[in-house]
């Protein structure tokens, strides 16, 4: 299949490599040219603009930082929509806002183009291992057409609903739950540590009893080892996601009091430890003073 892939950050690069390795013809574009050039060695065709990348493509993936990045790549004379064919499908994998996703879908419909959302659960190592969980939202036929590609990049596809924003809200809600779990673990580990119980001992108990789930195992190990660099998912991106959760909650008039704690923890972690800390670094604020 002829594929265009726009956005070669930690996630996009790993996903694009898997699509190339599966035998697809993949044209790539990235804002900073160096990242695209290195994918040329892996077999990708390098495009100089989003428009060039998507012309002639059957499926176009975007995996960009945030709403602003997607807006700048989609619009303009050299933008994605200027080159997207009427039979092509734009698959948005970035984690973006619920209202933003509705607007993006409407923009595609107004131009007779197809947009589905397919954000993912899984960090860069899961992307490289093709073990992502893909959450798709949008037209069922369009999702079906992309299914073979989702099979290449992930371990399971979930259909969130008929609107692209259904996938966005599921993804954002899941990310909120990850942060809530990390905060609860961090507070509990601090309490155990303050009473002389090692973090690893506490983790061994919880992950093998009541909390035997990937989020506790994976993030629990990071917290126990206090391993927050290099960031697999940077705290600034996590803060962006929590802002998007808050935006959606405000529109829907849903109270999420613990979200306020988490947003403040992320702000503090970035202010105290820098932009390059992993979002699980919120645990540092819960650590007892020595
Ligand atoms: P990343 O490594 O920071 O990459 C971000 C990408 O967005 C880069 O290609 C960057 O281009 C591009 N970009 C940023 N601002 C832009 C702009 N204004 N115009 C054009 N391109 C722009 O991020 P990532 O970890 O791959 O995450 C990508 C998306 O996946 C995010 O929405 C994130 O929330 C989501 N996600 C991440 C993870 C994770 O664990 N990392 C897991 C699931 C979902 P440059 O190279 O030029 O900077």
Specify the residue with its C-alpha closest to ligand 1, atom 15.
69
Residue 287 appears among annotated catalytic residues: no
Q: How far is the CA of 206 from the centre of ligand 1 (A)?
A: 33
Confidence of residue 287 (pLDDT cuts 50, 70, 90): confident
Q: Is ligand 1 within 6 A of the CB of residue 101?
A: no
Q: Is ligand 1 within 6 A of the CB of residue 32?
A: yes
User: What's residue 288's pLDDT?
Assistant: 72
Q: How far is the CA of 9 from the centre of ligand 1 (A)?
A: 5
Confidence of residue 290 (pLDDT cuts 50, 70, 90): low
Active-site residue (options: 2, 68, 163, 171): 171
Reference 263, options 179, 187, 206, 191; nearest CA is 179
Specify the residue with its C-alpha closest to ligand 1, atom 22.
69
Q: Is 232 helix (H, G, I), strand (E, B) or coil?
A: coil
Give this prediction's pTM. Answer: 0.96
Taking a C-beta distance cutoff of 8 angstroms, is the pair 73, 18 a contact?
Answer: no
Q: Is the pLDDT of residue 230 over 80?
A: yes
Q: Is the pLDDT of residue 147 over 90?
A: yes
pLDDT digits (tens, 9 = 90+) for 14-67: 999 999 999 999 999 999 998 999 899 899 999 999 999 999 999 999 999 999
pLDDT digits (tens, 9 = 90+) for 167-221: 999 999 999 999 999 999 999 999 999 999 999 999 999 999 999 999 999 999 9
Pocket-testing residue among 38, 48, 65, ligand 1, by greatest number of atoms within 8 A of Cβ: 65
User: What's residue 167's pLDDT?
Assistant: 98
Taking a C-beta distance cutoff of 8 angstroms, is the pair 34, 40 a contact?
Answer: no
User: What's residue 161's pLDDT?
Assistant: 98
What are the two backbone dihedrals, phi and then psi, of residue 87, each rounded to the nearest 5 degrees?
-95, 0
CA angle 157, 262, 180 (to 5 degrees): 50
- What's the mean pLDDT in 159-164? 98
Confidence of residue 276 (pLDDT cuts 50, 70, 90): very high
Mean pLDDT of the chain: 97
pLDDT digits (tens, 9 = 90+) for 257-266: 999 999 999 9
Taking a C-beta distance cutoff of 8 angstroms, is the pair 87, 58 a contact?
Answer: yes
Q: How far is the CA of 289 from the centre of ligand 1 (A)?
A: 34
Paired tokens of 195: 């009473």
- What's the mean pLDDT in 63-76? 97
Percent of the residues in the chain that have a pLDDT greater than 90, as a whole number: 95
Taking a C-beta distance cutoff of 8 angstroms, is the pair 169, 193 a contact?
Answer: no
User: What's residue 132's pLDDT?
Assistant: 98
Q: Which atom of ligand 1 is nearest to the CA of 7?
A: 9
Q: How far is the CA of 211 from the centre of ligand 1 (A)?
A: 30
User: What's residue 111's pLDDT?
Assistant: 97
């Amino acid at each position: 299949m002829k594929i265009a892939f726009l956005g070669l950050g930690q996630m996009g690069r790993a996903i694009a490599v898997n699509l190339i390795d599966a035998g697809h013809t993949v044209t790539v574009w990235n804002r900073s040219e160096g990242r695209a050039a290195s994918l040329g060695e892996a077999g990708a065709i390098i495009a100089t603009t989003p428009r060039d990348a998507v012309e002639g493509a059957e499926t176009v993936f975007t995996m960009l930082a945030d709403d602003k990045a997607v807006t700048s790549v989609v619009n303009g004379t050299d933008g994605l929509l200027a080159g997207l064919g009427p039979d092509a499908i734009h698959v948005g994998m970035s984690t973006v806002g619920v209202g933003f996703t509705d607007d993006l879908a409407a923009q595609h419909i107004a131009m007779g183009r197809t947009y589905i959302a397919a954000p993912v659960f899984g960090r860069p190592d899961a992307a490289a291992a093709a073990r992502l969980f893909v959450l798709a939202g949008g037209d069922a036929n369009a999702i079906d057409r992309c299914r073979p590609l989702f099979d290449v990049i992930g371990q399971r596809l979930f259909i969130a609903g008929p609107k692209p924003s259904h996938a966005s809200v599921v993804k954002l809600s899941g990310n909120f739950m990850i942060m809530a779990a990390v905060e609860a673990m961090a507070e509990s580990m601090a309490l155990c540590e303050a009473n002389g119980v090692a973090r690893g001992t506490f983790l061994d108990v919880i992950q093998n009893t009541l909390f035997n789930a990937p989020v506790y195992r994976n993030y629990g190990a990071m917290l126990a080892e206090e391993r927050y660099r290099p960031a697999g998912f940077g705290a600034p991106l996590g803060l962006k996601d929590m802002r998007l959760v808050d935006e959606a909650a405000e529109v829907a008039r849903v109270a999420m009091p613990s979200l306020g704690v988490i947003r403040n923890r992320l702000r503090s972690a970035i202010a105290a430890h820098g932009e390059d800390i992993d979002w699980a670094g919120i645990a540092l604020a819960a650590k007892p003073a020595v």
